Amino acid sequence: MLALLGGCNGASQPAVPFSSASDAAGSARQNGAFDAGLYAVAFEEASIFGYKADDRRNRPPRCSIGGVAYVNDIAVDGKGNLIDPDGGSRTIRVFSGPGMCGPEIGSVSDPYGEPSDAASADAATGTIVVSNIFDGSGSGDGSLSLCTLSGGCTINLTNPQMHEVGGVALALNGDCWASVLNTNREARLIYFKGCSGPGRVASGFRNASLGGLDIDDAGNVVAIGLSGGAYVYKGCDPRCTRLGGPFPLSGTVVFGHLNQQSTRLAVGNSGNAGVDVYRYSPTSITYIYSFNNGFSASDDVGGVAYNPRSKE
């Protein structure tokens, strides 16, 4: 079962799940390039799979990227590049888009801890905001790192409420959020104006646990919790106004992402070792279908990302 973040501190320790697993060597490969689709990854697997955007027939993946290790979440940037916060190598790897399963553009080491999620408008040339489950600086607490492929990870954002850090979201105006647990295991959403400074705890946040974050095409924050399902909020800068939720999500779900039109929400379901797809609006999230072709029954499927992503 996909474990809640926790268990190990520091960059020198084994990768922290949303599970523990083994990996195998692999290489990036392309099996029939196609322009749009959906990526999915399991923590145990050494490959990120690329599927058609609509896979209700449960067809096999159409392409894959090998050589990854201990991946929790994945993300697609505004240009269609795929971001792999690679927990096993403690690096942030970027693969070329907008086509699926493109070659690796570059990577950067994360000196601040184990990366678990990332967000960027343009990961090839711009800033990548990376969430670290636990900070590797010795404090043991999680953080957000600001990185570029050309300059490395040079800024680390922390807040007293950030003990374990799950998802991260980055708005078009440069603001960012972190979904966290504090030392009392209470869920908090931390808002960083301009993705800088000490951050502020968002008021009106109702999620019962940490999890993935995304931003829909109206600028609303979609917050998934390992327990309690999903909520949709307006604002959170730092005051959240609840627009919808809690919306129940079946199985064990931590991360999820929206499609370009913000009409579909795909989530990784560890409990069912596959991907669940929901119809999305800020006031309604309803189940449509699932697929699991390419995964084994014991896989902890966590990260999923549409390409192209939500227009935000």
Cβ atoms 272, 251 nearer than 8 A: yes
- What average pLDDT does range 58-81 have in this prediction? 97
Instruction: Return the bridge partners of 219, or none.
Output: none
pTM for the full predicted model:
0.91
Residue 93 in this model has a pLDDT that exceeds 60? yes
Please give the share of the chain, as a percent, with pLDDT higher than 90: 85
CA–CA separation, 276 and 250 (whole Å):
8
- What does the pLDDT read at residue 51? 97
pLDDT of residue 228: 86
pLDDT surpassing 60 at residue 10: no
pLDDT in tens, 181-232: 999 999 999 999 999 999 999 999 999 999 999 999 999 999 999 888 999 9
CA proximity to 47, closest of 61, 66, 19: 66
Please, how many CA atoms are within 13 Å of residue 145, restricted to the half-sphere of its CB?
A: 32
Q: 62-307 has which CATH code?
A: 2.120.10.30
State the burial class of residue 204 (Cβ atoms within 10 Å of its Cβ: 0-12, 13-18, 19+): middle
Mean pLDDT confidence for 1-14: 37
Confidence band, pLDDT 50/70/90 cuts, at residue 17: low
Q: Which two tokens stand for residue 64?
A: 């894959």
Would you say residue 239 has pLDDT above 50? yes
Window from 17-31, 49-63, 186-200, 251-265 with minimum mean pLDDT: 17-31
**248-274 pLDDT per residue, tens:** 999 999 999 999 999 999 999 998 899
> Residue with structure tokens 């991946």?
71
Strands (E), 124-270: 128-135, 143-148, 152-157, 164-170, 176-181, 187-192, 200-201, 213-215, 221-225, 229-235, 240-247, 253-258, 264-269
238 DSSP 8-state letter: S
pLDDT at position 55: 96
DSSP code of residue 93: E
In sequence order, the 6+-apart residues with CB closer than 8 A to the CB of 110 are 11, 85, 90, 91, 92, 130, 132, 136, 145, 147, 153
Mean pLDDT of the chain: 90
CA 188 vs. chain centroid, Å, equals 17
Helix and strand totals (H; E) in the chain: 0, 25
Report the distance separating Cα 94 and Cα 102, nearest Å. Answer: 9
